[in-house]
Structure 1
Amino acid sequence: MEVTTAVIPAAGFGTRFLPVTKAQPKEMMPVLDKPTIQYVVEEAVAAGIDDLLIITGRGKQAIERHFDKSYELEHELRRSGKDERLDRVQHIADIADIHYIRQKERNGLGDAVLYARKHVGDEPFALLLGDTIVQSERSCTARLVEAAEGCESAMVSLEEVPWEDVPAYGVADIESTASSDRQSFPVADFVEKPSQEAAPSNLAITGRYVLPPEIFQTLEATEPGVGGELQLTDAIRKLDHVRGLPLEGDRFDIGTLIDWLEANVEMALEHDEGEMNTAVRDVLQAQLETDG
């Protein structure tokens, strides 16, 4: 199994961010100095993957524009002698071979993945959700690809979440917990958005996968599930062999305004630039004093 392609679904409405997402895709919400989806693309590239398919929808043209070449902007930066900023802008346009396809109707994540079938063909592929950032010493996708290639199996990144948050996730029913934190383990089943009482575990899918081409057949044979949508989790559970890999690093799910704010604060505090850390800490301290 060799993984050379990554698929990034980014077609959702982003209704929990309205009204800001009325004209701007949720995936373009900035975290520090980059839009969310750029972190996702960079993660795939860090895994050695430079063939990317982004699944978009109506009103998502800003994503394509972001990764396109901007001749006027580059000319102005060059004229102004802003070489560092010019390098960063050129890097975005040259980062990978990025292709796009539009999901005509938003019928769930599983439906979005089906749109990748022609591009992916008969090869395994990485799947990264476009609204989830994973910060780690080594690319989360790189670890998944290495693990999947080593055992010829579908691989899903999993993370323990608070039990009260379980109903918001696809949750794994694992066969064994005897493996090391760094090793993958077999998954017996998945349950999409179970109640806290019915959940088999609190190991949640983190939005990172390596999937075989057989997923497309299972998706076609899967009936709509939770919310009347085609759920990817329902199709994955039909695959013959699925393994889970514990997440390393920090995951930021840019799903709500609060999540987005927390991601900006936490990532700013970890940023290399000391002045930014100091500024953020001063702001937080001032806020705490005000609240107090």
Structure 2
Amino acid sequence: MTDNSRKPIRKAVFPVAGMGTRFLPATKAVPKEMLPIVDRPLIQYAVDEARAAGIEQMIFVTGRGKGAIEDHFDIGFELETTMKERGKDVSILDGTRLSPGNCAYVRQQEPLGLGHAVWCARDIVGDEPFAVMLPDELMWGEPGCLKQMVDAYEKVGGNLISVLEVPRESVSSYGVIAPGKVDGALTEVTGLVEKPKVADAPSNKIVSGRYILQPQVMHTLQDQEKGAGGEIQLTDAMAKMIGNQPFHAVTFDGRRFDCGSKTGFVEATLAIALEREDMGEDVRAIATRLLG
């Protein structure tokens, strides 16, 4: 095990180069990561979760047509000046300002999969462990998913993935872990299986869009052959590290919304709106009326 295995997690990679075809025509000119759940874009929820976990540098792996993400995390000089002149509170924008030292943007020029997207960030990640966060998966809980993982990492080091328990008949849609020893929310990972048949699934714990990885994964991705769908799969690279470095799963204490699907997106919007003090009662009344 290298000295890296307990270095603090300071950097997070956000793969945001996807075309969002499932949300066309909305995503023709607007990145899917900028679609709002109530009044915050999806990417903002992920960045807020990263900040709450102590992440210092956000690394966005973008593609063509994703300039709105950079604009969102820039200072909106004209907007803020106009708001201040009109006596409006600009604190609502606090979470949207990332200084040049706190963010970096790198292009994934071809859609070669999640593993390739992570590999595109290798020069900025350097020789230190890092987090990977998939904004499509909105992880809703307190403390946040990545904070729960960072707390676990401080105990065990190595590599970690976030998992959730699902009904066994649903496992064939996901990556599933083969479990070893269990200690509370921590489960040792002895293997990873992508979309197994229900009968063959080693557990009902599915991989859910948050990872803490050692920098050696970049070397593995460098030599990685294309896997399922002709893409370079992150799961394949992680599987090669099992047995060589500590590898654990953290069962997230919270809810996951799959905002890569339209129904998941609507569910997240409704669930989060219902919890908000400024609108929850009104939304509940609207939902009740519609259902009636």
Give the TM-score taking structure 2 as reference length: 0.92
1:288 maps to which residue?
A: 291
**Corresponding letter in the other structure for 2:237:** A
Q: How far apart are the structure 1 equivalents of 2:10 and 2:232?
A: 26
2:120 maps to which residue?
A: 115
Q: How far apart are the structure 2 equivalents of 1:144 and 1:114?
A: 22
Q: Residue deviations 1:30-73, cap 9 Å, x none?
A: 00110000000000000111211011111111111111111110
Aligned pairs, how many? 282
Match of 1:76 among 79, 82, 91: 82
**Corresponding letter in the other structure for 1:136:** G
1:202 maps to which residue?
A: 204
Q: Is the counterpart of residue 105 in structure 1 residue 110 in structure 2?
A: yes
Q: Is the counterpart of residue 174 in structure 1 residue 179 in structure 2?
A: yes
Q: Residue deviations 1:88-140, cap 9 Å, x none?
A: 22441147811111100011000000011100111000111121211211121
Q: How far apart are the structure 1 equivalents of 2:31 and 2:203?
A: 33
Q: Which deviates the most, 36-45 or 160-169?
A: 160-169
1:89 maps to which residue?
A: 93
1:272 Cα shift?
Answer: 2.6
C-alpha change, 1:13 and 1:197, in structure 2 (3 Å) is farther
1:232 Cα shift?
Answer: 0.5
2:44 maps to which residue?
A: 38
1:198 Cα shift?
Answer: 2.7
Match of 1:162 among 137, 160, 167: 167
Give the TM-score taking structure 1 as reference length: 0.92
1:255 Cα shift?
Answer: 1.0
Q: How far apart are the structure 1 equivalents of 2:228 and 2:201?
A: 15
Match of 2:194 among 180, 192, 195: 192
Match of 2:249 among 244, 255, 258: 244
Q: How far apart are the structure 2 equivalents of 1:60 and 1:13?
A: 9
Structure 2 unaligned regions, length at least 5 = 1-5
Question: Secondary structure of the equivalent of 1:22?
Answer: coil
CA RMSD of aligned residues (A): 1.5
Paired residues of 2:163 and 2:208 also in contact (CA < 8 A): yes
Question: Secondary structure of the equivalent of 1:158?
Answer: strand
Q: How far apart are the structure 1 equivalents of 2:168 and 2:64?
A: 35
Q: How far apart are the structure 2 equivalents of 1:162 and 1:267?
A: 23
List aligned pairs for 1:4-153, cutoff 5 A. Answer: 4-83=10-89, 86-94=90-98, 97-153=102-158
**Corresponding letter in the other structure for 2:236:** D
Structure 1 unaligned regions, length at least 5 = none
Match of 2:262 among 257, 260, 265: 257
Question: Secondary structure of the equivalent of 1:21?
Answer: coil
Q: Which deviates the most, 24-33 or 166-175?
A: 166-175
Paired residues of 1:55 and 1:115 also in contact (CA < 8 A): yes
